[in-house]
Structure 1
Amino acid sequence: MDNKSFFTNKKIVILLASFCCILWGSAYPGVKSGYALFKIGSKDIFSELSFAGYRFILAGLIVLIVALFSSKNIFSITKKNVKQIILLGLTQTTLEYIFFYIGLANTTGSKGSIMNSTGTFFSVVLAHFLYKNDRINTKKAIGCILGFIGVLIVNFSSELLSFSFKFTGEGFIILSAFVFSASSIYGKQICKNIDSVLVTGYQLLIGGLALLALGLFNKGYVTNFTIGSTAILLYLAILSAAAFSIWTVLLKYNKVGFISMFNFVIPVAGTILSSIFLGESIFNVENIAALVLVCIGIFIVNRDSK
C-alpha cells in the first residue's frame, strides 16, 4: 500500500486525525504543568513565547532528525521552497501562537477554548471557495454546528453568559484560529511539491526560532530547568512533532473539510485529560454530552451519502 492509499483509507484517517487531536488536547494540561514547573506567571506573555519557542524548535529538530534517519535528503529544497517554508513557519507557528498567547492572557480559559474552535468553521469556509470538490453542504453544516455545541457544553460556565468581547482577548484567539486554518491550507499547497515531513520540520523550527527571539528580546526568559520541567518540555516537543507531521500528511491527501472537523476533538480531549491529571472525575454529564455531540458531528460529515 503506497502513502496515498494508506492516508486516504477512511478508517486509518479517522484514527490518525483523532490521535493528532488527542495529542494536541494533552498539550493543555502539559503546558499548564510546564508553566508551573518553569515558574512562568500566567501574565508573563514573553516568557510563554520563549517557552513555546523552545518547544517548537525541539519539535522541528526531532522531525528533521527522524527524516534524516529515514534516508530523506533534508537539504533537497530550492530557494523558492525556502521562502514558502519561512512564510509558513512565521504564520502557522509564530503568528498563530503570538495571537493565541496574548489573547489567552486577556480572556478566560473557557472562552479561549470556544473561540479557538472557530478554526474549524474557517477551514470549512476557506475550502469551500478554494476547492471545487470541498463545498459546504448540509452534512458539513450540521456536523460543524453539533461539534461547536459540544465545545460550548464542555466549556460552559456562568461567565459565558456575559457577552463581553475584547479584541486583544477573544478577538486575538479568533485571529489565531483563522491564521492556523489559512496557513494549513497554504501548507497543503506547498506539500504538492515538497516532502510534507520536511515542510513540517522546517516550519516548526523556523516558527520556534522566531518565537524564542521575540520572547528573549523582550526579556521573557525560561529558567528553573529540572528533570521534571525538562521532561514536560520534551513531551510537548514530541507531541507537536508527531501531531503536526501526521496532520500535514492527512491534509495533503484528503479534503480540508473532512480533516478539519476533527479539531472539535481538541478542546473536549483537553478538558477530559486535564480532569484526569488534576484528579477530577471525567464521567460527568458535560464531558459525556460534549464527546457524544462531537462524535456525531464527525460521523455525519463523513457518512457516505448512500
Structure 2
Amino acid sequence: MKNTVWTNPFTVFLLAFLCCALWGSAAPFIKFGYELFSIDTSQTGQILQFAGARFAAAGILVILVGSFVFKHALVPEKQDIVPVLVLAFFQTAGQYFFYYIGVAHTTGVSAAVITGTGAFIALLVAALVFRYEKLTMLKTAGCVLGFFGIWILNGMKTGSGFSVSGEGLVLVSQLFSAFSAAFIKLFSQKRNAVLLSGYQFLAGGIMLSAIGIAMSPHSTLTMNWQGGGILFYLAFVSAAAYSMWSYLLKYNPISKIGMYECWIPLTGVLWSAILLQEISQALSWNTLIALLCIILGIRCVNKEDTI
C-alpha cells in the first residue's frame, strides 16, 4: 500500500477521531430533530421521512463539495451504478432504517454504547464473509468481550431491560454498517470514494423517504428554522464523516481503522449525557463497565498479531 496523507499515522488519528466525534453526536441531535419536527416516534413513516431528508441532503452536499474540490462535476458512470446502489442499500437505507427507529425507542447513551459493537461486527464480516482479515484468538476474545459489554448494558440493567424495538434495532443497524464498510473497501479501490459516498447517500435518502411516504402518505414533516438547522448539521455529519472514513478505509486495513471506533461510544455517551441530560445513566455502573468492555474489546480486536 503506497504512502499517502491518508496513511500518515498522525493524520489518520486526527481524521478518525473527528469522524467518531461527529458520529457520536448523531443520536442526541436525531432526538432533537424528532422534537423540532414534531415527529410522533410511534409513526415509523415520519421517522423514515426525516432520515431520508437528512441523507438526501448529505448526498447533495457531498456531490457539490466534491465537484468543487476535484474541479469537475462528479457524475457516476455506468460501472458506478451497481456499487452506488449496493452501498445505498447497506450503508444508508438498511443501516439507518433500523438505527432511526431504534434511537426513537431507547436512550442516547444506550444507542451510543451499542454503536461501539460496529467494530466487532465489522471484523466478523470482514473475516468470515469477505476474507479481508484473519480471525485470531485475540480478535475472537475481543469480540466476546465487546458483546459481553452489551449484555451488561442491556441484559443486566434494571427497569425495562433489553428492548427489541430500541437497543435491538440499533444492534441490527451495526450489521448493515459492517457490510457497508467491507463494500466500501472493495468498491473504493478503483473508484472515486467521494463520488460513491455522495450518490449512495442521495440514493439511500430517496429510498428511506419513499418508504416513509408509503407508510405515512398523509403525514409530512413540519419545517422550522431550528429543525432546518438540526437537519443541516446531521447532513454535514454524514457528508464529512463518511467521506473521510471512506478514504481511511481505502488506504488502510479495516481493523486498523476499526480500532478508532472505540471513540464512537465514548463521545456518544458524553454528547448524550450533556445534551440530553442523561448523566445518571452515563455514570451508572453498568454503562461504565459496558464502555470498558467495549473499549478493551476493540483494543484486542485491533492489536497486531505479532505482539
For 1:114 and 1:279, the matched residues in 2 are separated by 16
Q: Is the 8 A contact 1:77 1:194 kept in 2?
A: no
TM-score (norm 2): 0.83
Q: Specify the SS of the correspondent of 1:8.
A: coil
Greater Cα offset, 178-187 or 32-41: 178-187
Q: Is the 8 A contact 2:87 2:184 kept in 1?
A: yes
Give the alignment of 1:122-137 within 5 angstroms. 122-129=121-128, 134-137=133-136
Give the alignment of 1:143-158 within 5 angstroms. 143-148=142-147, 157-158=157-158
Does residue 262 of structure 1 match 2:260?
yes
**Counterpart of 2:204?**
207
Encode CA deviations 1:108-162: one digit per residue, 9 max, x unaligned. 44665565544322211122235666212244334444555556667773147x5
For 1:151 and 1:267, the matched residues in 2 are separated by 11
For 1:190 and 1:9, the matched residues in 2 are separated by 22
For 1:295 and 1:118, the matched residues in 2 are separated by 10
Q: Which of 172, 175, 194 is the aligned partner of 2:172?
A: 175
Question: Root-mean-square deviation (CA), in Å?
Answer: 3.2
User: Shift of residue 38 of structure 1?
Assistant: 0.9
For 1:294 and 1:172, the matched residues in 2 are separated by 19
Give the alignment of 1:192-203 within 5 angstroms. 192-203=189-200
Q: Structure 1 residues 117 and 297 mapped into 2: Cα distance closer, same or farther (>3 Å)?
A: closer
Q: Is the 8 A contact 1:6 1:12 kept in 2?
A: yes
For 2:291 and 2:102, the matched residues in 1 are separated by 26
Q: Is the 8 A contact 1:143 1:296 kept in 2?
A: yes
Q: Is the 8 A contact 2:48 2:97 kept in 1?
A: yes
For 2:166 and 2:149, the matched residues in 1 are separated by 22
Q: Specify the SS of the correspondent of 1:33.
A: helix
For 2:11 and 2:296, the matched residues in 1 are separated by 18
TM-score (norm 1): 0.83
For 1:147 and 1:12, the matched residues in 2 are separated by 27
User: Shift of residue 249 of structure 1?
Assistant: 0.9
Q: Structure 1 residues 222 and 288 mapped into 2: Cα distance closer, same or farther (>3 Å)?
A: same
Q: What residue identity is the alignment partner of 1:44?
A: Q
Q: Is the 8 A contact 1:74 1:198 kept in 2?
A: no
Encode CA deviations 1:49-73: one digit per residue, 9 max, x unaligned. 1111111111111111111111343
Q: Structure 1 residues 229 and 171 mapped into 2: Cα distance closer, same or farther (>3 Å)?
A: closer
Q: Structure 1 residues 290 and 42 mapped into 2: Cα distance closer, same or farther (>3 Å)?
A: same
User: Shift of residue 193 of structure 1?
Assistant: 1.5
Give the alignment of 1:245-284 within 5 angstroms. 245-279=243-277, 281=279, 284=283
**Counterpart of 2:83?**
84
Count residues in correspondence: 300
For 2:90 and 2:153, the matched residues in 1 are separated by 29
Q: Is the 8 A contact 1:53 1:208 kept in 2?
A: yes
Does residue 187 of structure 1 match 2:184?
yes
Q: What residue identity is the alignment partner of 2:181?
A: S
For 1:265 and 1:176, the matched residues in 2 are separated by 18
For 1:50 and 1:9, the matched residues in 2 are separated by 39
Give the alignment of 1:47-62 within 5 angstroms. 47-62=46-61
Encode CA deviations 1:74-131: one digit per residue, 9 max, x unaligned. 44532121122122112211122223344556x6446655655443222111222356
Q: Structure 1 residues 172 and 231 mapped into 2: Cα distance closer, same or farther (>3 Å)?
A: closer
Q: Structure 1 residues 113 and 201 mapped into 2: Cα distance closer, same or farther (>3 Å)?
A: same
Q: Structure 1 residues 82 and 235 mapped into 2: Cα distance closer, same or farther (>3 Å)?
A: same
Q: Structure 1 residues 302 and 90 mapped into 2: Cα distance closer, same or farther (>3 Å)?
A: closer
User: Shift of residue 27 of structure 1?
Assistant: 0.7
Q: What residue identity is the alignment partner of 2:28?
A: P
Q: Is the 8 A contact 1:27 1:236 kept in 2?
A: yes
Q: Is the 8 A contact 1:196 1:245 kept in 2?
A: yes
Q: Is the 8 A contact 1:59 1:237 kept in 2?
A: yes
> Which ranges in structure 1 are unaligned for 5 or more consecutive residues?
none
Q: What residue identity is the alignment partner of 1:255?
A: P
For 2:298 and 2:182, the matched residues in 1 are separated by 20
Identity %: 35
